Amino acid sequence: MVLFAFGNGLSALAPSYGWMLAFRFLAGLPHGAYFGVASLSPPLWSRASSGPRPCRA
């Protein structure tokens, strides 16, 4: 999160368009790591014994 905030702050203060693109790229690097962790964490929060629920007709 710090790298994301730092990159966005630098892109706001960028002296040229090329630097702004570089800083936006830097700010986007943690994005993949965030989604990787976010996709693995829901099973850790759910109850281990929940399993699939039976269908009631």
Full pLDDT tens readout for the chain, 57 residues: 788 888 899 999 999 999 999 999 989 888 877 788 777 777 666 665 555 666 666
In this prediction, residue 53 carries a pLDDT of: 63
Give the pLDDT confidence score for residue 57 in this predicted structure. Answer: 62
> How far is C-alpha 15 from the chain's CA centre?
27
Question: Hey, what are 40's tokens?
Answer: 């693995």
pLDDT computed for residue 33 by the predictor? 79
Q: How far apart are CA 34 and CA 55, in angstroms?
A: 35
Please, are residues 53 and 24 in contact by the beta-carbon 8 Å criterion?
no
Q: How far apart are CA 43 and CA 20, in angstroms?
A: 38
Q: How far is residue 47's CA from residue 57's CA, in Å, rounded to a whole number?
A: 25
